[in-house]
Structure 1
Amino acid sequence: MEEGETRPGARLVEVVLDENSIARSTPDVEHERAVAIYDLIEENVFAPHGHDGGPYRLRLSLVESKMMLEISDTASDGRFTHILSLTPFRKIVKDYFLVCESYYAAIRTASPGQIEAIDMGRRGLHNEGSRVLMERLADKVAMDFDTARRLFTLVCALHWKG
């Protein structure tokens, strides 16, 4: 698949987070997870390399500090798994959580200018994590940047332990 080119089945129609891999969290984090999944399903480009079928279902889980992407093809019932080391994400996710905590605290008490500055930092870290995710999956799954952003939110959700 060439950059910018998509085929009709190159998309996700279902995304599930493994309940054993994540813990319940704050309402803000739970909301962010739900919105990311909803947005991801509504609009995405997701084309596993070497598979011309689709659309796809994706189940994300953590196994020994690695993210497991269990992908199933809804058209053929084909299933395949990719395991991704989360080590390259540790610092980005840690920094992202710190900025998110500051952001959620700021929206209750800070001035609009302070909130905007914190949010710019939050978005910058989110973009960085999304780029790393695209790079790490480049030989496994083709996706656009918006899909990577939503998936990075879910990577963070798997890291978050309340």
Structure 2
Amino acid sequence: LHIKEITYQLRRTAGGNNTPAFNPVLCDATIDFASVSVFATTTAYEDANDVGIASPNVLNNLMFTTTREGDPATGSFIWENQEKFRGVYDLHPEGYTVITDLLIGVAVNDATTYNDETLEIDVMMIAEPKKVTKDDLERMLAQSTDL
């Protein structure tokens, strides 16, 4: 399978909501930094800290972060929310050929906004069939042994 793109939509489907909009403010006022990371890979990483845009066999990476700065004594805070997506087209402009399982990883740190809630994630993949030749397979095996 030759993957051109994989995109994600995080959805909050808790009762009482009319839309599945994902609240980008990930934490309450007691937390300074919170994050959510979603990534696609063909390698089973044991720790999401090992997954970066230059990590072997990583197809894409989506990162949400919330940073809070301020004075707890006055209750005055500045919140900054960021969303950064590095897609298959960024990391592998020609696409990525997969001959094994494709894994979707999700890691969360201090996202207290969603305590006791279930979030859903939709995954959409744009791909086309590809016949893998012997030369392609040898090249993939050589790359994996170089790592």
Q: More helix by proportion, 1 or 2? A: 1
Q: More strand by proportion, 1 or 2? A: 2
Report which of the two structures shows the higher radius of gyration computed on alpha carbons. Answer: 2
Normalising by structure 1, we get a TM-score of 0.22
Normalising by structure 2, we get a TM-score of 0.23
Query: Which protein, 1 or 2, shows the higher relative CO under an 8 Å CA cutoff with sep ≥ 6?
Result: 2
